[in-house]
Structure 1
């Protein structure tokens, strides 16, 4: 069942909420930039271009795109992943993220991230955030963002239609994935790039309010005021 959006365009109503992680719930910018800077310096690559195109994308896809011909993509990806797992200094939750996750019903929330499960657990813990019970991480999909597979899988696991879900995303690839899945998508933070028509933007969750109610049919409804 599709939930109508109220006339106030800054209010969105849904049955389930799907969050990206890096840049959306967790600020890990310094570590991400450090790891990709080392990678680009090692191979004489354009660091700015790597950052521009890697945000929100699985690490293996970025390595495959930029690594020199003949490079062992699997080994390089594993090496980068190992480097990221031991670096947690400076990781923090986005303002308001912890409170928002506490308010939302646990069985209506999913994490959909391009990180693998080990890295996702490490970063969520470092940021002081509880890992949602439903999490779609890199190893659970065959096609990463901007493909919609992860978001469609998460909606299915939560038992909702895409039209009844809401995505929070910070990167162009993730925003594209949410929209391709047919899910209303809210852009978060400064790295979203130009936004498609109809995509609302928030800096963080400081001014976001949420209400969890029950409709006339007894179904749960989550309302966001952005």
Structure 2
């Protein structure tokens, strides 16, 4: 079925959200922790910030320090995650997130979170943002992370819906690619998730039903 930018979440059987940068505003905490990691491991801070969005910590550590092997990569990832577990001071719900969740619950539309974070970090950040997700598919629940569609396919299966009838909301090109590969329609915040989304959003308020703001098709 062809969808246009005029449709709302009421059109979809379920909504599947990315977490960081999409449902939860954790940008400042993420940047602080990765800059500290980059300094510790002697790599360029800005390069780390450019390559890490949408990827698990271990993948970024391996990419930035290809000289590290097995246990050393795992240790580097753990060092980063420990920072993130405890840096929650300014982690909050993204603009429009709480209103959108309330609207979905009122409509009886199921929703889930699909994140590259591990279970502990997902629980910490969602808790800090005041969001109780009915279904969370974290990095530990899948064998292949984004851009592989496994996480979104699993979330749809847990909700009992067809992925093709889902709206995926993302903020990175990596996540948008995963949503597209799952067969879902993808809405992208922050510039349309690097141009990889079907619909570009300023923020989640544009998805709240009965909003007067129209989205832009890509």
Return the TM-score normalized by structure 2.
Answer: 0.87
Distance 1:97 1:164 in 2: 21
Q: Deviations over 1:122-163 (max 9, x none)?
A: 111111222x12110010011111111100111111111111
Q: Distance in 2 between matches of 1:183 and 1:191?
A: 15
Matched, 1:177 2:175: no
Matched, 1:206 2:205: yes
Instruction: Give the 5 Å matches for 1:133-148.
Output: 133-148=134-149
1:107 is displaced (CA, Å) by: 6.6
2:45 corresponds to: 47
Are the equivalent residues in 2 in contact too, given 1:43–1:68 (CA < 8 A)?
no
Any gaps of 5 or more consecutive residues in structure 2?
none
CA distance in structure 2 between the aligned counterparts of 1:207 and 1:147, rounded to whole angstroms:
27
Tell me if the contact between 2:147 and 2:177 (Cα under 8 Å) persists in the aligned partners. Answer: yes
Q: Report the CA distance between 1:118 and its aligned residue.
A: 1.1
The answer to whether the 8 A contact 2:168-2:184 is kept is yes
Distance 1:143 1:161 in 2: 20
Residue number in structure 2 paired with 1:90: 90
Q: Which has the higher strand share?
A: 1
How far is 1:46 from its partner? 2.1
Any conservation in 2 of the 1:40–1:47 contact (CA below 8 Å)?
Answer: yes
Deviation at 1:208, TM superposition (A): 2.8
| Regions of 4+ moved over 6 Å | none
**Under a length normalisation based on structure 1, what TM-score does the superposition of the two structures give?**
0.84
CA shift for structure 1 position 189: 2.3
Cα displacement (A) at 1:109: 0.7
SS at match of 2:116: coil
Tell me how far apart the structure 2 counterparts of residues 169 and 9 of structure 1 sit (CA, whole Å): 16
Q: Report if aligned partners of 2:191, 2:201 keep a CA contact under 8 Å in 1.
A: no
- 2:35: which partner in 1? 37
Aligned to 2:131: 129
Determine if the alignment matches structure 1 residue 116 to structure 2 residue 126.
no
Q: CA RMSD in A?
A: 2.1
In 1, Cα distance between the equivalents of 2:127 and 2:167? Answer: 24
